[in-house]
Amino acid sequence: MEGFEKYLKEETFHKVLTRRMETFTIGRFLMLTQLHRKLGKMPEKALEHEMVKGIVAILKKKREDYLLPALRHYLLWKGFEDLALRIPKIPQSHRKKNPPTLTEEDLKRIEENFPNGKWAERFKMVYLIQKMTGARASMVLKLRLQDIKLFDNYAVLLMRGKARRTDKLIKTVIFEKEAVEKLRSYIENYDLNWDYIFLKPPTKSTPLYKKILSAYVSYLSFLKKACAKAGVNIGTHDLRRYFIYKFYEASGHDIEATRKAVGHSNISTTSIYLESYSPNIAQTLKEVQKGLGGGEK
């Protein structure tokens, strides 16, 4: 699939993570449908029927934001423009900018409803770190043992930025005692046979970025199962968005402090998350009017 990823880079100008997610997604789709073996050997109507069956089979399992655009780009790459144009364009719902309607009770129910098992425990810890720090899922999944410093009452985590800025380190601290103890227990009780504490050891034929993508897809699957049981519908980035809103409120609407807390390079990025934020306008108006001598109504 290297040729397909190169095509995405040259023709779509996607970000690195988006290109890799589309490549990973179309790879899974081709394994399920064997579509690559049927292109050029079947009539278009039959091919269209095969595609629809494969799309339905995957969408029944879970929401797949990257599937349809990846399939469209794959068919264009192979030269099947007519088939590509029949695939509908859908908005990517994970890019909604409205404030998430989450509560602390929702987040607690999600954590309680994570499936059981060794990998479920690992992904439950990823979820906990995301919830406590507002970090991206990819940043948490790239954590190594030496990136975590545990103290009596707090933990310091050094995280790497996005794929194109892997040299950038973001320092964050967890002060919540129960979360620190859960992290300490996780590290003490798991047989960590290499540095990355949430990833399977790579093989010579599997580069690190594919391990990260595979872990992300598995984590999203576990998270969706927990959300379904808890009656909440969120994605991994909703945890970051929720943390930003909560931190912004708790800091007295200090956007610069919020930017530093979540590791944004530019304050304009933080403002995008907050552009739909609306605090209690009536209460704010009362405070302003009181300060101006207007008094409370």
Q: Please tell me the least confidently modeled range out of 8-12, 164-168, 176-180, 242-246.
A: 164-168
Model confidence pLDDT, tens digit, residues 121-173: 899 999 999 999 999 998 999 999 899 999 988 999 998 876 444 457 788 89
Task: Calculate what percentage of the chain has a pLDDT beyond 70.
Answer: 77
Flag whether pLDDT at 57 surpasses 70: no
Instruction: Name beta bridge partners: 171.
Output: 158
Mean pLDDT of 177-187: 91
Flag whether pLDDT at 20 surpasses 80: no
Token pair of 207, please?
């580069």
> For residue 97, what pLDDT band results from cuts at 50, 70 and 90?
very low
The secondary element (H helix, E strand) that includes residue 148 is strand 148-150
State pTM to two decimals: 0.64
Residue linked to tokens 């029949």: 86
Contacts 24+ apart (CB under 8 A), 232-239: 232/102, 232/106, 232/109, 232/110, 234/100, 234/102, 234/110, 235/94, 236/130, 236/136, 236/137, 237/94, 237/136, 237/137, 238/100, 238/102, 239/107, 239/127, 239/130, 239/131, 239/134
Instruction: For residue 175, give the 3-state DSSP assignment.
Output: coil
Model confidence pLDDT, tens digit, residues 190-212: 776 778 889 887 676 777 777 88
> For residue 64, what pLDDT band results from cuts at 50, 70 and 90?
low
247 or 280: which leads in pLDDT: 247
Flag whether pLDDT at 269 surpasses 50: yes
Token pair of 43, please?
């009539």
Q: What is the pLDDT of residue 93?
A: 46
> Is residue 200 within 8 Å of 211, Cβ to Cβ?
yes
Strands of 148-150's sheet, edge to edge? 148-150, 155-160, 169-174
Mean pLDDT of 84-113: 71
Average pLDDT, the chain: 79
Alpha helices in 86-204 (DSSP H): 104-112, 118-133, 137-141, 177-189
Token pair of 114, please?
């994570």
Q: What is the CB neighbour count within 10 angstroms for residue 252?
A: 7
The secondary element (H helix, E strand) that includes residue 149 is strand 148-150
Nearest to 286 by CA among 270, 297, 275, 273: 297
